[in-house]
Amino acid sequence: MQDPVVQTRVPGAGQTAESWLAALSSGTRATDELTALGMRHAALLRPAGPVLLVSFDTLPQVAPPSLALAGLVRDQGWSHLSVVANGATWWRDPAVHAHFDRLIDEGFFETFDRVVFFGIGMGGYAAASFCVAAPGCAVVAIRPQATLQAPATEWDRRFPHARRLDFTDRYSFAPDMVEGAASVLLVYDPRVAEDAMHAALFTRPHVLRLRCHGAGARPEVAMAQTGLVAELLRLAARGALRAPLVHRAHRAARRRDAGHLLRLLSQLTLRGRGRLARRVARAVLDREDPP
């Protein structure tokens, strides 16, 4: 099955709260629950089975959950709670905090057998930050930020607009918030210095790291092409985010990644490793969809 994480342009940016919420609700079902959280956020709950996937999705960079994760959620029979941000907010909004407070008070997360928090980039930050609401959950965070509070992370200059946000209140410092999670997986390319430095701030012993060397600033692109994100989420939903299984899934995905194979072929050729280069070339040619 193709990985459901898809980069798609959708309506939302620059619209009023009413208009982007209307666009988001256009694909909902009768059993779905859409809750506005202030002017720039919403929570969309699609109830189903005893496993809950909590994802953090943004408009317009990433398609809303009804489009981006629908295939995986449907095939697995999971329930799905998406917390959607209209823009680069990092979910630093009292309305979002209050919503998670309500879910905790109502015992919402306790009604599920397993809970998985997932996000990419600032969504990865939110997944790690808000997972404190569901002790014992699993977290899959792709290139997350730990915080953007100055001066603690003044070395990360990629998001100057985020300096106006408050990273000092509740649900804020992600490395502390993951303490109660059963398992945490961070995915990033260690050659991207800022991503590696954020990951280094997560020091809890139950934090597992998947270092995708050479994947660049957006490892989720290759992961989407090879189905790795879906496989990692399935592992998380089974309570199986363990190093041997994660790295086995990564190795299998790399064998399906034409870009990785071509980079490896180039490196082996430059090093004069002819025999290995021929084996890699054969693997590329044996693919059903060679580049």
Find the domain containing 274 and state its range: 258-291
SS3 10: coil
CATH of the domain at 87: 3.40.50
| Same domain for 171 and 88 | yes
E-assigned strand segments in the chain: 33-37, 41-46, 51-59, 79-86, 114-120, 138-142, 183-188, 207-211
| Same domain for 171 and 79 | yes
Domain contains 7: no
DSSP code at position 288: S
Cα–Cα separations (whole angstroms), residue 171 to 43, 100, 204: 17, 10, 17
| Same domain for 165 and 27 | yes
Q: Across-strand partners of 81?
A: 45, 54
- CA-angle at 161, arms to 155 and 162, nearest 5°: 65
Cα 136 from Cα 182, distance rounded (Å): 4
| Same domain for 174 and 212 | yes
Domain contains 6: no
Q: Is 28 exposed, middle or buried (0-12, 13-18, 19+ CB in 10 A)?
A: middle
Which strand (E) or helix (H) includes residue 257?
A: none
Domain contains 42: yes
| Same domain for 277 and 227 | no
Q: For the chain, how many structural domains are there in total?
A: 2
For the whole model, what pTM was predicted?
A: 0.85
Residue keyed to tokens 């009604």: 111
pLDDT tens sequence across 146-174 = 999 988 899 999 999 999 999 999 999 99
pLDDT tens sequence across 44-98 = 999 999 999 999 998 864 444 434 577 899 999 999 999 999 999 999 999 999 9
pLDDT tens per residue, the chain (291 residues)? 333 333 333 333 445 667 778 777 777 788 899 999 999 999 999 999 999 999 999 886 444 443 457 789 999 999 999 999 999 999 999 999 999 999 999 999 999 999 999 999 999 999 999 999 999 999 999 999 999 998 889 999 999 999 999 999 999 999 999 999 999 999 999 999 999 999 999 999 999 999 998 888 998 888 877 889 999 999 999 999 999 999 999 988 887 765 655 565 555 466 666 666 566 566 655 654 544
